[in-house]
């Protein structure tokens, strides 16, 4: 088991899949010689050449649209948009084209493409480069959405996404690129649609995504000193969601706290809360569900304000305590 940064783990995943399947190629901005805005594709251009690592102009719509078209005729492209915020420029190709061609065409088409998009606040990137927009994408039938929180999961999920025959959006929290974690040697695949209990517990269930997984784990540590035993669950795939794992956990603990960077309204936490309320876990709920989320504002630039925007360990601890009041 090695310690890799998330960035290195993703790099490994790309290299392995490029090696394994000649139909796989990368397409995106500055991914060639430069090695990617976040160094994720470092070294790949040198190793695989310009035919497999396609460096594009700044053209989000055709980057994604070309990925869809290329996938339709039999290749397996992995596109990259530099920031999830820029998905807006490619929304038609994702939502109206890629997500729907299989259904609209009566089943014959396949779009085995991946779009990787870094996201998240906390690096003074301000309002247009810091958003968490996963809710938009999870809302569209035909799309799959994954959000890894550890280097091992980032590698395993990306490899599975590339091998999946659907349009899979891989949302990578920027903050995690430089975080280290253990990554298994050899072939490492994490299946889509499977959550992971990162810390078992019995007093409350915390469902946390992205960089907030580690804040949730810290919160659990803090609460354990008061004899409160929190279970931390990492969904890993947002759609299709492993609802069964969440339901089973809430049946065990009776309390649910959702944690994400995206703003609260109409968000992933709302979906989890509704799923639980509609499920058999409803009769086990012993306190109102709590959602911890980003402040409902555009992400501010100033650090002091950006820190207020982001959820943190203290907010997660407070939410857990509210369920135990």
| Residue with the two structure tokens 């807006």 | 88
First to last CA, the chain: 41
Residue from 5, 35, 54, 300 binding another protein (CB under 8 A): 54
Residue 129 falls in the annotated catalytic set: yes
Task: Give the helix ranges, DSSP H, for 254-310.
Answer: 268-278, 303-309
Q: Which stretch binds another protein (CB under 8 A): 73-81, 174-182, 215-223, 230-238?
A: 73-81
Residue 60 falls in the annotated catalytic set: yes
Options 12, 17, 29, 129, the catalytic residue: 129
Q: Which stretch binds another protein (CB under 8 A): 71-79, 172-180, 212-220, 257-265?
A: 71-79
Residue from 10, 72, 82, 161 binding another protein (CB under 8 A): 72
Closer to another protein by Cβ: residue 1 or 73:
73
Distance, CA of 89 to CA of 272 (rounded, Å):
28
Contact between 66 and another protein per CB under 8 A? yes
Q: Contact, 72 vs 46, CB < 8 A?
A: no
Contact between 283 and another protein per CB under 8 A? yes
With residue 53 as reference, give the H or E element that holds it.
strand 53-56
Give the x/- contact pattern for another protein in 199-218, rule: CB under 8 A: --------------------
Distance, CA of 155 to CA of 16 (rounded, Å):
10
Residue from 37, 39, 62, 197 binding another protein (CB under 8 A): 62
The DSSP string of 147-158 is: ---SHHHHHHHH
Nearest to 231 by CA among 248, 240, 242, 243: 248
Site for another protein in 77-116 (CB under 8 A): 77, 92-93, 96-97, 101-112
- From the CB of 77, what's the least distance to another protein, in Å? 8
Distance, CA of 272 to CA of 214 (rounded, Å):
19
Side-by-side strand order, sheet with 196-199: 196-199, 230-234, 204-208, 256-263, 290-294
Residue from 21, 165, 221, 278 binding another protein (CB under 8 A): 165
Distance, CA of 149 to CA of 168 (rounded, Å):
17
Residues of this chain that interact with another protein (CB under 8 A) are 23, 25, 27, 51, 54, 56-57, 59, 61-62, 64-75, 77, 92-93, 96-97, 101-112, 141-142, 144, 165-166, 254, 282-287, 325
Active site residues: 60, 129
């Amino acid at each position: 088991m090695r310690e890799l940064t998330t960035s290195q783990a993703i790099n490994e995943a790309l290299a392995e899949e490029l090696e394994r399947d000649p139909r796989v190629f990368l397409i995106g901005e500055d991914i060639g010689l430069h090695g990617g805005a976040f160094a994720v594709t470092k070294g790949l251009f040198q190793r695989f050449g310009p035919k497999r690592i396609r460096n594009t102009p700044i053209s989000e719509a055709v980057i994604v649209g070309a990925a869809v078209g290329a996938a339709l005729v039999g290749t397996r492209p992995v596109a990259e948009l530099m920031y999830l915020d820029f998905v807006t420029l490619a929304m038609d190709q994702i939502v109206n084209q890629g997500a729907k061609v299989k259904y609209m065409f009566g089943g014959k088409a396949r779009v085995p493409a991946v779009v990787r998009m870094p996201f998240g606040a906390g690096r003074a990137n301000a309002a247009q480069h810091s958003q968490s927009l996963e809710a938009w994408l999870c809302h569209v039938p035909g799309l799959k959405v994954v959000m890894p929180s550890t280097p091992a999961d980032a590698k395993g999920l990306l490899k599975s996404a590339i091998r999946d025959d659907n349009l899979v959006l891989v949302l990578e929290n920027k903050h995690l690129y430089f975080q280290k974690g253990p990554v298994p040697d050899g072939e490492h695949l994490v299946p889509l649609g499977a959550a992971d209990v990162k810390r078992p517990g019995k007093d409350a269930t915390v469902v946390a995504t992205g960089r907030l997984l580690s804040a949730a784990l810290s919160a659990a540590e803090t609460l354990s000193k008061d004899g409160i035993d929190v279970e931390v669950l990492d969904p890993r795939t947002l759609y299709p969601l492993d609802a069964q794992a969440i339901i089973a956990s809430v049946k065990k603990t009776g309390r649910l706290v959702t944690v994400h960077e995206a703003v609260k309204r109409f968000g992933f936490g709302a979906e989890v809360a509704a799923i639980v309320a509609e499920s058999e876990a409803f009769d086990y709920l012993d306190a109102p569900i709590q959602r911890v989320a980003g402040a409902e504002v555009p992400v501010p630039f100033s650090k002091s304000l950006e820190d207020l925007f982001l959820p943190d360990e203290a907010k997660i601890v407070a939410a857990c305590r509210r369920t135990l009041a």
